[in-house]
Chain A
Amino acid sequence: MGYFKDISEGFSSTIVGLKLSLKHIFQARKSRTNVGIEQDNYFTQDTGIVTLQYPFEVLPVPDNARYRLDNEIDDCIVCDKCAKVCPVDCIDIEAIKATEEIGYTSDGSAKKLYAAKFDIDMSKCCFCGLCTTVCPTECLTMTKTYDFSEFNVKDFTYHYSNLSPEVAQEKRELLALFQKEKELKKGL
């Protein structure tokens, strides 16, 4: 009786399959709410439409998420620790010694170096976050911005220096003059 058994099995499995997809059509009345991984009910929503209409809806990002780097250059003392600790060498800093104290960061550290160049190449960045942990003034942070694609890979290099090239050149000359004077003084 294999013949009739096959037919009845095919029939019943057809019904089961159709029921399953019908169930999904009914469940599609609701969408899943956009809860982040940090919320308790993140894993409990197992019915409804899963699509996230991305640019219009976004999932909340956890607080300890590591995405695009941002440097608050006014709080930066150009200590170069971040560039040294970076495993992929994506931070490029050129410091110029100031001849006098420039000012103070928001946590009261004295700034004694100009950042002629403070470039972060986000296309190289491996998002390990080491630079943010070593930063003494906590001016280098990882933000929640993760959608920062570019058409040109060069645009991934972010320039944080607040000195224009001319001013930087001026400061360099000033430093050279200062050092020359110092040597002259030593020579005396």
Chain B
Amino acid sequence: MLVLNFVIYISFLLACVLVVFYAERKLSAFIQDRLGPMEVGPYGAIQPLADLLKMLHKEDIVPAKADKWLFKAAPIVVFIAVFMGYAVIPLNANFVGSSVAMSVYFLLSIVSLDIIGLLMAGWSSNNKYALFGSMRAVAQIVSYEVPIGLSVLAVIATCQTLDLQEICMQQSIYNVAFEARYLFGLPSLGIEVSQMGGILLWNIFQSPVLFIAFIIYFIASLAECNRAPFDIPEAESELIAGYHVEYSGFRFGIFFLAEYGMMLVTGLLASILFLGGWNPPFINIGALKLADYTSGVKGEISSHIWGAFWLASKSIALLLVHVWIRWTFPRLRVDQLMFLCWKVLTPLAIIVLLISAVWRLLMVM
């Protein structure tokens, strides 16, 4: 069972990464009026595989003056930290790798362990750019943990649970039997939507203030993944590539996978916390039971497939927004980065947390 879980999650990760990698190259090309990869396969569709092969062919270089053990261990530490976060992600209504009661807490803490790996990589490379890059990465990730934590807390205050599967279930049409849900979560409005399902049960609709929390989470997750415009840790034009400048071949590939895995896990968490997780966006309208059709029957194979499909497409859509943002904005300066984190996002997140706590009171009244 353990091995099966591992295989399921790693193949889910790899499939999503290949899709996102190809989509990123295509989308960035379209934004810049280019075509992107066109040669390998139809419209360059198997370019990611070609890149993967290229990466595996390359020599694994360890610099002579590097701290060899740390240097070799760093990518593995980063990847393990990120991949462990997947253990608690519910892929659909019936399947979760490890159903922990405090899975949000586990996810946030285990994923932030990857900064140890980043610092190891930067330090052991014995390269000033790598060290600069890793120090910036750590400073940035540690500070952006705060708005992320607060915006996640706003969701937890609304859902009253730390279990990701429970949070998904609350936004689901399967929940009908257990609890009645109202438009914007307010019983006083008197419009019950628990039969309608879809987008109306999503947390950002159940408690509209969570939409701001979602925006905060999204901006902070960009910084958490070192994505542009917060890519100062790997700023190409000043630091070459940041902490992984000395890595090549397979070890670089692991870093790369961990980076995309990190992006995907923040995307998955965002879709679970705010966008209904594995639930479809469609609403039951009268006889047209769109939500029922696209949810499948709980416990059967249809709900497995629909759940994984909706979760993957929501998080991939969020990652495509990452790409859209990446190719639009110039990089922030360090002081601008910290200004945004501490003076804008954090106070806003605290206010949102307060309002969502009040909203929770309105939801139960």
A interface residues (Cβ-Cβ under 8 A, vs B):
3, 7, 14, 17-18, 20-22, 24-25, 27-28, 31, 48-51, 53
Contacts and interface: CB of A to CB of B under 8 A. Distances in A.
Interface residues of B, number: 16
Q: 3 closest A-B pairs (Cβ-Cβ)?
A: A28-B30, A51-B35, A21-B328
B98 interface: no
Contacts of A50: 33-34
Nearest to B39: A53
Contacts of B105: none
B38 A53 contact: yes
B187 to A, nearest CB: 34
Contact of A51 (B34, B327, B329): B34
A24 B33 CA distance: 7
B142 interface: no
Nearest to B344: A7
B344 A24 contact: no
B38 A24 contact: no
Interface string B31-45: 111110010000000
Contacts of B343: 3
Contact of B31 (A24, A31, A51): A24
Contact of B30 (A7, A18, A49): A49
A48 B344 contact: no
A25 B35 contact: no
B327 A21 contact: yes
B282 to A, nearest CB: 24
Interface string B19-30: 000000001011
Given A3-B343, A25-B27, A53-B38, A20 B33 contact: no
Contacts of A51: 33-35
Contacts of B324: 18, 21-22, 25
